[in-house]
């Protein structure tokens, strides 16, 4: 299902003082020049692995010929190419196609075949005419890439194109100097740990982006997971604080925190509200305060957080269940077959636990007591309406999905002993409504840990994130199904717009540091 919300005549409400604070927290970007490590392929050479980039000035490309550069790792940055020509005078423009790719497989995809619902303009390819050679081509866009394919669409019979030099000026607001020298004893976990950090690093820009290829913006669901992983790695607390202020500073006119936010040309909340995502604002604020103890942020953001809770509680009906209209505004995962009503209620109960801590932290005993009471009431409602004794699990409108069990366990709806049993049983039917994103897999692992099933949690991290590593991931992907590597939430041909360095998949580093050492 396409996640496109359009509110007619939408004007977000901006709060200048909060946005000013966010501006003060603008991070420093760290830059580095990186050169291609090898020529991955070249149509004019009998190409075997390992042609060095030093060969570049000796390769000339005529009409229909191409070469592919491999920068050796995933980077975010700007590309500069020094181009010249070989042969007679350049009597016609050089017409080039540049294709950028985060993974090797992306290069094989054909953008013409993409018929999905998210904009095809995200496909990172450029068609460029160069009238005069030699030329230094500095591309105006920022790319997320490991590979760059340069295809010559046309020259003339009189000359060929030479790519003399290529470089990428990388950028990230993650400071590797902040990392400690931790390493895992287990080799696979160590690789997963390193790739998690590489993923987070490249998503850390002026905000915590969901993916540097796409959508390049803040989403609350992704942000919460980045903030957790950042706390055990790059520790850029100011970037977390900045993003909290951005979400608080531009909201729906009725006070709701938007699911995502634009920062260009100026800060503006998107007209997309997601029930679960708005609650992650509350959770992330509490977790930030726990990590960094920030009296100013508590003072200035507390009311916004409580407003999200009040808005969410207004969306609960007389039975203690989230209303169907609101369930329709709940993300959970890309699997549209999943009945999300049980999950929506559980996420609310889960968020209430954080809201109670937040109220306690603020010294707001009345609110803390009131919210603890609501949480208890909703837990009872969840047991009454969703627990099925015969099935031995939670059913959401009769449906037995892994997502519902995960969120009910995280919300502490079942008692600890029952949760441990439930998460044991739930693994048997996990594939009935398969989890489709590392985001949902993260919460699955967290539910296993919460239920005391540490071995299962480790096994799942190794099997799921490990299978991405085995498929060649330099950074973890937005969507991943080991049995169907080309799967995409975006419809026909969608793998070309998938993001292969995606914030919500960076959490194994957090889990390893916080729960497995």
**Which among 145-153, 154-162, 217-225, 292-300 is the span making contact with ligand RAM, rule CB under 6 A?**
217-225
For residue 268, give Cα distances in angstroms to 18, 230, 252, 282, 300. Answer: 13, 25, 10, 20, 19
How many residues of this chain interact with ligand RAM, rule: CB under 6 A? 9
The structure tokens listed for 50 are: 């390992």
Cis peptide before 134 (omega within 30 of 0): yes
Closest CB 398 distance from ligand RAM, rounded Å = 26
Which residue, 106 or 478, has its beta carbon nearer to ligand RAM?
478
Residue numbers 219-238 binding ligand RAM by CB under 6 A: 219, 221-222
Residue 294 sits in the site that holds ligand RAM (CB under 6 A): no
| DSSP-based helix, strand, coil % in the chain, nearest 5 | 45, 20, 35
- Residue 139: CB atoms within 10 A of its CB come to 16
Least distance CB 460 / ligand RAM (angstroms): 21
Looking at 114, 208, 288, 331, which residue binds ligand RAM (CB under 6 A)? 331
| DSSP structure string for 41-86 | EETTS---TTB-GGGGGG-EE-TT-EEEEEEEEEEEEEEEEEEEEE
**478 lies in the site for ligand RAM, by CB under 6 A:** yes
| Cβ nearer to ligand RAM, comparing 221 with 414 | 221
Q: Which is nearer to ligand RAM, 215 or 474 (CB)?
A: 215
Can you give the C-alpha Rg of the chain in angstroms? 25
Q: How far is the CB of 351 from ligand RAM (least distance, A)?
A: 17
Residue 344 main-chain phi, psi, to 5 deg: -60, -45
Q: Considering only residues 102, 106, 215, 294, which one is a binding residue for ligand RAM as defined by CB under 6 A?
A: 215
Question: Closest CB to ligand RAM among 60 and 258?
Answer: 258
Is residue 440 within a helix (H) or strand (E), and if so which, with residue range?
Answer: helix 438-450
Query: Closest by alpha carbon to 199, among 469, 475, 471, 462?
Result: 475
Give the nearest distance from C-beta 120 to ligand RAM in angstroms.
14
Stretch that binds ligand RAM, among 35-43, 172-180, 214-222, 235-243 (CB under 6 A): 214-222
Q: Which is nearer to ligand RAM, 226 or 341 (CB)?
A: 226
Q: Which is nearer to ligand RAM, 396 or 498 (CB)?
A: 498
Would you say 36 or 116 has its CB closer to ligand RAM?
116
DSSP code for 27:
P
Distance CA 515, CA 507 (A): 12
- Inter-residue contact 330 to 275 (CB < 8 Å): yes
Of 100 and 331, CB closest to ligand RAM: 331
In the bound complex, what is the minimum distance in angstroms from residue 332's beta carbon to ligand RAM? 10
- C-alpha 345/C-alpha 232 separation (Å) is 30
**Do residues 479 and 498 touch, judged by C-beta distance below 8 A?**
yes
C-alpha distance from residue 435 to each of 421, 432, 440, 487 (Å): 20, 9, 6, 12
The enclosing H or E element of 420 equals helix 416-426
Smallest separation, CB 102 to ligand RAM (Å): 14
Q: Under the criterion CB under 6 A, does residue 209 sit at the interface with ligand RAM?
A: no
* Cβ proximity to ligand RAM, 452 vs 485, nearer residue: 485
The distance of closest approach from Cβ of residue 263 to ligand RAM in the complex, given in angstroms and rounded to an integer, is 15
Q: How far is the CB of 489 from ligand RAM (least distance, A)?
A: 8
Give min distance, CB of 360 to ligand RAM, in A: 29
Q: Nearest distance from residue 221's CB to ligand RAM, in Å?
A: 5
Give yes or no for residue 210 binding ligand RAM (CB under 6 A): yes
CA terminus-to-terminus distance, the chain? 39
For the bound state, the minimum distance from the C-beta of residue 217 to ligand RAM, rounded and expressed in Å, comes to 9
Query: What residues from 392 to 431 belong to the interface with ligand RAM (CB under 6 A)?
Result: none
Of 420 and 487, CB closest to ligand RAM: 487
Rule CB under 6 A: say whether 276 interacts with ligand RAM.
no
Q: Which is nearer to ligand RAM, 7 or 52 (CB)?
A: 7
Secondary structure string (H, E, C) spanning 142-203? CEEEEEEEEEEEECECCEEEEEEEEEEEEEECCCHHHCCCCCCCCHHHHHHHHHHHHHHHHH
Q: Can you read off the two tokens belonging to residue 314?
A: 């207004």
Q: Using CB under 6 A as the criterion, which residues of the chain lie in contact with ligand RAM when the complex forms?
A: 3, 210, 215, 219, 221-222, 331, 478, 504
């Amino acid at each position: 299902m396409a996640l496109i919300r359009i509110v007619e005549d939408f004007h977000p409400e901006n709060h200048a003082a909060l946005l000013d604070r966010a501006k003060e927290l603008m991070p420093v970007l760290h830059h580095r020049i990186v050169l291609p490590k090898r020529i991955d392929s070249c149509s004019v050479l009998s190409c075997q692995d390992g042609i060095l980039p030093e060969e570049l000035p000796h390769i000339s490309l005529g009409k229909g010929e191409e070469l592919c550069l491999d920068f050796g790792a995933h980077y975010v940055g700007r590309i500069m190419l020094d181009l010249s020509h070989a042969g007679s005078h350049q009597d016609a423009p050089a017409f080039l196609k540049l294709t950028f790719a985060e993974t090797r497989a992306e290069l094989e995809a054909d953008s013409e075949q993409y018929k999905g619902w998210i904009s095809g303009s995200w496909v990172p390819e450029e068609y460029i005419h160069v009238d005069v050679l030699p030329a230094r081509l500095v591309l105006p866009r920022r790319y997320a890439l490991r590979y760059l394919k340069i295809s010559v669409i046309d020259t003339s019979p009189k000359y060929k194109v030479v790519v003399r030099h290529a470089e990428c000026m990388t950028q990230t607001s993650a400071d590797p100097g902040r990392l400690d020298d931790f390493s895992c004893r287990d080799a696979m976990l160590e690789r997963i740990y390193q790739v998690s950090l590489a993923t987070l690093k490249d998503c850390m820009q002026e905000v915590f982006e969901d993916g540097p290829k796409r959508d390049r913006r803040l989403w609350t669901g992704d942000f919460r997971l980045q903030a957790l992983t950042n706390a055990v790695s790059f520790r850029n607390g100011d970037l977390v604080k900045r993003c909290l202020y951005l979400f608080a500073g531009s909201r729906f006119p009725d006070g709701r925190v938007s699911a995502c936010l634009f920062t260009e040309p100026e800060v503006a909340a998107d007209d997309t509200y997601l029930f679960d995502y708005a609650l992650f604002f509350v959770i992330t604020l509490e977790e930030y305060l726990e990590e960094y103890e920030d009296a100013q942020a508590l003072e200035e953001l507390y009311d916004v957080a409580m407003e999200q809770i009040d808005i969410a509680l207004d969306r609960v009906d007389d039975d203690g269940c989230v209303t169907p209209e609101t369930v329709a505004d709940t993300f959970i995962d890309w699997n549209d077959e999943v009945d999300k009503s049980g999950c929506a209620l559980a996420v609310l109960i889960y968020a209430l636990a954080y809201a109670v801590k937040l109220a306690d932290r603020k010294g707001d005993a009345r609110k803390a007591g009131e919210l603890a009471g609501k949480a208890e009431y909703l837990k009872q409602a969840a047991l009454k309406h969703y627990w099925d004794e015969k099935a031995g699990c939670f059913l959401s409108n009769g449906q037995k999905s892994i997502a519902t069990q995960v969120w009910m366990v995280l919300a502490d709806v079942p008692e600890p002993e029952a949760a441990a049993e439930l998460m044991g049983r739930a693994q048997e039917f996990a594939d009935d409504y398969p989890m489709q994103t590392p985001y949902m897999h993260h919460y699955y692992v967290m539910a296993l840990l919460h239920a005391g099933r540490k071995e299962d949690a480790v096994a799942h991290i190794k099997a799921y994130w490990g299978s991405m590593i085995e498929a060649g991931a330099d950074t973890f992907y937005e969507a991943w199904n080991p049995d169907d590597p080309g799967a995409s939430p975006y419809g026909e041909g969608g793998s070309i717009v998938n993001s292969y360095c995606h914030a919500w998949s960076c959490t194994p580093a957090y889990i390893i540091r916080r729960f497995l050492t």
